[in-house]
Chains A and B, each alone.
Chain A
């Protein structure tokens, strides 16, 4: 399948593109919708909202989740909030401002038309979620409350305590559950997608593995939507849930879907620092804490006193010092690198000197402990459970960690990948955040894609298949894909090596973190690209999987996901090496200003890099989509 990148951006002025698109797109009439079968893989915000809405519209939907219930998807762990350009605070917000902040926050590497659409539908999302019963925070008069997030100078973030993702996901899950109850959506639990099947140049369906029985099964459909999340677990340690993986997107990539900007990974500044080698994951402390917490390190690297005893003049509130206008709410990439510089300079705090303080003493003094408990109580409790320290008494210790991935499957304006009939939504696609995502924008994008974009943009593709026969699951291409998957799973069991899949995942993650993490350079990336294939070879010879392929074997699920992370890790490094500039979450130490800020090269790199699988993980084929800016002018991104 040869790849051409046609972004299909509609004609017209930027602010009219989406309404023009809706007004002129092809429709499927209500009586015909039930003739179309749509598969949705993944039931997080994007997947659940897409399945619910497509089911409501009358399509014949099948939704797949590898969890025991759709409500477990990792969207549930998002804490801080969701942005929307409601301007309820009267503080100067608008659709244009949200659009502009998002493009700027993404360091001018996102597609203008997509971002504008996102900002436009952001207001509908809040209306929709309130109507569905999401208990957002309220003021005493009963109106919705807002707070601020990084990279914005307005308060446009809606929230439900520190559990906004949970409440939004439950909202979307309930809407999908309603459709399941009505029989419009068929739900497959504990079933994992293991391959995409293409027939005659279009996506014809998927192959799945039942995690309880190991059974491989084919499912044919008119269209397939992947809403399978990001690949942050490539780093092994991340804030992602344990099961988060790249397999669905990667298998689609191997079948012809281009993978865009894999080097754009977000390292979140406020996570609890690693405590020990056996640690299985890192825990995020919401960015919303930076509304009231002040970040500092001792000026003296040899400081040994407890935080409270370090006098004010011996503290370096480095974000407030370097970025006075945004202060502690500087965007994530900027804040993360500043924390790394402080720790690298030896000013880190905690037993391993691997964190910085996030201090609430001033806020507690100003607002009282009750107000702080009201705002962040559950986060403080979580911190205390993990570390054994109370943030009401001593400052939190935080450090950056892998959190979100802006890169993902390349999609056009209709969220269609380079495989016709295969769509991709939410974190799994690359579409809206450019090189860095602003806080509270992931929930917005997931719900935007699922509720308000895909239900429109999938219709033109479907309409061309009305009353035409499509291959069913008995087609030989499905048989072949099933056989290939069966062989692959058996091969892991047959290796009979000595080390667990987790051992290799940990080693791989360390390479990717060291050379393709917060700070990258040519020599390091080249080193990683020689170490990853060597480790992959060792993995193929020495991995040990116990259990069998015909019952629940979590080790077998894991080994297949780790295998795909190896190939993805190579592509991340290749992409980082190819992008000879610094932008957003991609920081190449060769390309920085004198002050250590990211130095973009708009002349040569104002494009999306979309990679095509060549069959050899060391040599993918590069394609480019030039980013055309009609409204936004390139600027050096400054938060000073």
Chain B
């Protein structure tokens, strides 16, 4: 059964545009059911703002099932808030208590400039994928799906990495603004599968170097793994580093057959 939380203070980051100064704005939610999701609380606030003639708080969100990766809030300094393995949209108010003061900010990272309020631009993730995050297999020529068996542990490990929702929490949580967990997850998904072997090292080199153009460097803090709503293991970074190192040999023509 639902219980009511009372007197929740929200300190929300407001910023009119990429180059405008930002500031915190406080709003009090007098009463909210603990069955409400965190974003439903923001919906309620926004309706109140609109109906009183103020501009609604801009924030990215869509599926509200924790799978599309659109939502992206820094809640009390934690990417996606206090609940482990949970995207912002799946966070519910039962995680909070009456009288709490909750600070809500956008992702903070140089590669993710703020667009407005809590909305940021995560386009560099797409650039990393465009650089090599695929298996070249044009439509129509694929062999029968069961031709190449994939051992279950391999398929499972690939799936663990492929579960990445591309939300950017790893970057937001990282003190360096590095995207190694994201890039590592994309690489592990494809590089573990037999279908991904042909382009394994060209993929690793292209994606890592595109990542480096946009993001900071990894210094093994491990904050990314702790913040990841899909709990992707930091092991994917080790695999990425290993494949990237090998790529520097494998991708040299004279050594490519070794």
Given B67, B136, B140, which contacts A178 in the complex, CB threshold below 8 Å?
B136
CA distance A612 to B122 in the complex (A): 41
Among listed B40-48, B169-177, B215-223, interface-contacting one: B40-48
CA distance A49 to B54 in the complex (A): 41
Contact A76 B63 (CB under 8 A): yes
Min Cβ gap B192→A in Å is 8
Min Cβ gap A558→B in Å is 9
Among listed B97-105, B141-149, B244-252, interface-contacting one: B141-149
Cβ-based interface call for B68 (8 A): yes
Known: A128-B137, A135-B159, A455-B139. A86 touches B145 (CB 8 A): yes
Residues of B within 8 A of A488 (CB): none
CA distance A207 to B207 in the complex (A): 34
Q: Which residue of B lies closest to A178 (CB)?
A: B134
Interface majority SS (helix, strand, loop, mixed), chain B: loop
Contact B61 A275 (CB under 8 A): no
**Interface residue ranges of A516-551 to B (CB < 8 Å):** 544-547, 551
Residues of A within 8 A of B30 (CB): none
**Interface residue ranges of B99-142 to A (CB < 8 Å):** 115-116, 119, 121-123, 125-126, 129-142
**Interface residue ranges of A418-476 to B (CB < 8 Å):** 451-452, 455
Min Cβ gap B57→A in Å is 9
Cβ-based interface call for A72 (8 A): yes
Cβ-based interface call for B232 (8 A): no
Residues of A within 8 A of B121 (CB): 68
Contact A71 B166 (CB under 8 A): yes
Residues of A within 8 A of B11 (CB): none
Min Cβ gap A448→B in Å is 12
Q: What 1/0 mask marks residues of chain B from 49 to 77 whose CB sits below 8 Å from any chain A CB?
A: 11101111010111111111110000000
Min Cβ gap B250→A in Å is 19
CA distance A131 to B189 in the complex (A): 13
Given B51, B64, B140, B165, which contacts A281 in the complex, CB threshold below 8 Å?
B64
- Sorting the interface of chain B by its residue count into under 10, 10 to 19, 20 to 34 or 35 or more gives 35 or more
Residues of B within 8 A of A72 (CB): 62-63, 68-70
Q: What 1/0 mask marks residues of chain A from 284 to 299 whose CB sits below 8 Å from any chain B CB?
A: 1000000000000000
Cβ-based interface call for A552 (8 A): yes
Q: Which residue of A lies closest to B135 (CB)?
A: A133
Contact B126 A177 (CB under 8 A): yes
Cβ-based interface call for B152 (8 A): yes
Cβ-based interface call for B39 (8 A): yes
Known: A276-B2, A498-B51. A132 touches B37 (CB 8 A): no
Residues of B within 8 A of A166 (CB): 67, 163, 165
Contact B70 A386 (CB under 8 A): no
Cβ-based interface call for A576 (8 A): no
Q: Which residue of A lies closest to B116 (CB)?
A: A552
Min Cβ gap A46→B in Å is 13
Given A74, A88, A132, which contacts B146 in the complex, CB threshold below 8 Å?
A88
Cβ-based interface call for A242 (8 A): yes
Cβ-based interface call for A388 (8 A): yes
CA distance A137 to B146 in the complex (A): 12
Contact B137 A552 (CB under 8 A): no
Cβ-based interface call for A369 (8 A): no
CA distance A140 to B36 in the complex (A): 42
Cβ-based interface call for A161 (8 A): yes
**Interface residue ranges of A552-582 to B (CB < 8 Å):** 552-555
Given B43, B83, B94, which contacts A278 in the complex, CB threshold below 8 Å?
B43
Contact B1 A351 (CB under 8 A): yes
Contact B149 A142 (CB under 8 A): yes
Given B90, B135, B143, B166, which contacts A132 in the complex, CB threshold below 8 Å?
B135
Contact B69 A71 (CB under 8 A): yes
Contact A67 B70 (CB under 8 A): yes
Contact B142 A385 (CB under 8 A): no
Given B62, B116, B134, which contacts A243 in the complex, CB threshold below 8 Å?
B62
Contact B189 A135 (CB under 8 A): yes
Contact B67 A77 (CB under 8 A): yes
Contact A174 B2 (CB under 8 A): no
CA distance A554 to B119 in the complex (A): 11
Contact B146 A547 (CB under 8 A): no
CA distance A49 to B113 in the complex (A): 30
Min Cβ gap A178→B in Å is 4
Contact B134 A132 (CB under 8 A): yes
Contact A138 B64 (CB under 8 A): no
Contact A144 B145 (CB under 8 A): yes
Residues of B within 8 A of A181 (CB): 130-132
Given B33, B122, B195, which contacts A69 in the complex, CB threshold below 8 Å?
B122
Contact B35 A276 (CB under 8 A): yes
Cβ-based interface call for B28 (8 A): no
Residues of A within 8 A of B40 (CB): 278-280
Contact B195 A386 (CB under 8 A): no
Contact B138 A56 (CB under 8 A): yes
Residue in B49, B53, B166 with the greatest tally of chain A CB atoms within 10 Å: B166
Residues of B within 8 A of A77 (CB): 63, 65, 67-68
Min Cβ gap A425→B in Å is 14
Q: Which residue of B lies closest to A240 (CB)?
A: B63
Q: Which residue of A lies closest to B18 (CB)?
A: A212
Cβ-based interface call for B151 (8 A): yes
Cβ-based interface call for B183 (8 A): no
CA distance A498 to B54 in the complex (A): 12
Cβ-based interface call for A163 (8 A): yes
Residues of A within 8 A of B54 (CB): 546
Cβ-based interface call for A175 (8 A): yes
Min Cβ gap A470→B in Å is 26
Cβ-based interface call for A167 (8 A): yes
Cβ-based interface call for A40 (8 A): no
Residues of B within 8 A of A554 (CB): 56, 58
Cβ-based interface call for B214 (8 A): no
Known: A69-B122, A69-B123, A131-B195. A276 touches B36 (CB 8 A): yes
Contact A138 B90 (CB under 8 A): no
**A–B pairs, 19, beta carbons within 8 Å:** A56-B138, A67-B62, A68-B60, A72-B68, A128-B139, A131-B141, A131-B195, A135-B193, A161-B163, A178-B136, A181-B131, A276-B36, A278-B36, A382-B66, A385-B66, A385-B83, A385-B86, A385-B92, A544-B50
Excluding A132-B134, A243-B62, 11 further A-B contacts by CB distance (< 8 Å) are: A53-B138, A56-B139, A69-B123, A72-B62, A128-B139, A133-B134, A142-B149, A165-B67, A174-B133, A189-B126, A547-B55
Residues of B within 8 A of A (CB): 1-2, 16-17, 33, 35-37, 39-40, 43-44, 46-47, 49-51, 53-56, 58, 60-70, 83, 85-86, 90-92, 94, 115-116, 119, 121-123, 125-126, 129-146, 148-152, 155-156, 158-159, 162-163, 165-166, 189-190, 193, 195-196
